[in-house]
């Protein structure tokens, strides 16, 4: 990549920080280009550009991850996870770079006369404010079920297109960053207090569930991307395509039928079970030499689901119990 050559050798050796600064640089370039070329939809287009710029970097990461997994002689999920922790860290630093870049620009843009609601219209359309109870099962269910489809889409796109799931990672990072940055600015404008202090409150309080939910998307993208490389090497790729299309149709039919008999939570559990069973069937299409790599990434996706559920729990508790955060949110929306 072009900008990677601008960093000193000492920084390039610390690949996590290289990924972090690349994410910030590419986010900046993408926002500028999207604003000038596609002003009506600059929010979503900027994320598309970020994804395009980062795809070569993600491709390299996925190839290296698969190579390390195949060389691993100590079988077991924990051993493989430990050996590949550096790759997960690189994903995380890319996510945080995009998140902080969009947060900074949504926070600073109003001071330079830009209307954030126009520049980042698509990201701000996801904004909502909650609060008032100790714990609300309805909010938890809504967070869990809505974001579950994003998690599944992230994994599925990665399975089909390899590094294509970078879009979902970039999209979620940009949405969180934009909403938090703009909320802090608006809260400061309405209360007359320091907007920077408001931003600090938001960042510190939301950081736990941000890391958990963002980490879940990263694990899902990594798992699906490596499985995609395994599928690409199949002699009869048509077999996988037929299996995938049939499984997708069958999944949607079962989802529709089960929706009449099950409530939201029951339907979510049902969808999860069917998806995991369908994914397990992919292992029967692979060569024996790739089975242990597939099994590791199958469990990695299950781990992503577990982290995701914990993140939804933490987010619900934070939304209803962090009084300073509620005050900032309501001040921003007043």
147-185: per-residue pLDDT in tens?
788 888 888 888 887 776 788 888 889 888 998 888 888
- Report yes or no on 256 lying in a domain: no
Give the total number of structural domains in the chain. 1
CA distance 151 to 219: 10
Mean pLDDT, the chain, as a whole number?
A: 78
Q: Please report whether residue 268 resides in a domain.
A: no
pLDDT range class, residue 61, cuts 50, 70, 90:
low
For residue 185, being part of any structural domain is answered with: yes
48-62, 125-139, 205-219 — which one is most confidently predicted on average? Answer: 205-219
Residue range(s) defining the domain that contains residue 30: 7-126+137-234+286-333
pTM of the predicted model, to two decimals?
Answer: 0.82
Q: Token pair for residue 45?
A: 């287009």
Domain membership of residue 60 (yes or no) is: yes
Higher model confidence: residue 73 or residue 134? 73
In a domain, 259, yes or no: no
CA distances from 147 to 38, 128, 220 (A): 28, 14, 13
Residue 190 has what pLDDT? 80
Judge whether 261 lies within some domain: no
Residue 46 lies in a domain: yes
Integer Cα distance of 158 and 85 in angstroms: 19
Q: Is residue 17 part of a domain?
A: yes
Position 97 confidence tier, pLDDT thresholds 50, 70, 90? very high
């Amino acid at each position: 990549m072009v900008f990677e050559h601008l960093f000193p050798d000492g920084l390039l050796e610390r690949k996590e920080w290289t990924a972090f600064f690349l994410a910030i640089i590419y986010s900046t370039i993408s926002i500028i280009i999207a604003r000038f070329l596609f002003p009506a939809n600059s929010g979503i287009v900027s994320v598309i550009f970020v994804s395009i710029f980062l795809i070569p970097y993600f491709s390299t990461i996925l190839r290296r991850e698969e190579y390390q997994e195949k060389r691993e002689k100590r079988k077991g999920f924990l051993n493989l996870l430990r050996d590949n922790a550096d790759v997960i860290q690189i994903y995380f630093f890319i996510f945080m770079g995009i998140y902080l870049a969009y947060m900074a620009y949504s926070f600073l843009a109003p001071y330079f006369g830009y209307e954030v609601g126009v520049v980042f219209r698509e990201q701000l359309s996801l904004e909502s404010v909650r609060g008032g109870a100790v714990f609300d099962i309805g909010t938890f269910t809504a967070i869990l079920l809505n974001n579950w489809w994003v998690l599944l889409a992230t994994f599925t796109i990665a399975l089909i297109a390899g590094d294509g799931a970078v879009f979902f990672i970039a999209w979620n990072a940009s949405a969180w960053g934009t909403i938090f940055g703009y909320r802090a600015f608006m809260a400061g404008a309405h209360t007359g207090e320091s907007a920077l202090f408001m931003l600090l409150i938001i960042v510190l309080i939301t950081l736990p569930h941000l890391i958990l939910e963002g980490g879940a998307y990263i694990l899902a993208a990594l798992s699906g991307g490596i499985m995609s490389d395994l599928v690409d090497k199949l002699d009869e790729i048509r077999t996988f395509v037929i299996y995938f299309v049939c499984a997708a149709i069958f999944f949607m039919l079962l989802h529709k039928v089960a929706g009449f008999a099950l409530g939201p939570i029951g339907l979510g559990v049902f969808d999860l079970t069917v998806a995991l069973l369908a994914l397990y069937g992919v292992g029967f299409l692979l060569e024996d030499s790739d089975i242990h790599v597939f099994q590791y990434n199958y469990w990695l996706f299950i781990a992503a689901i577990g982290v995701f559920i914990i993140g939804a729990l933490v987010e619900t508790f934070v939304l209803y119990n962090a009084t300073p955060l509620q005050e900032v949110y309501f001040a921003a929306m007043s």
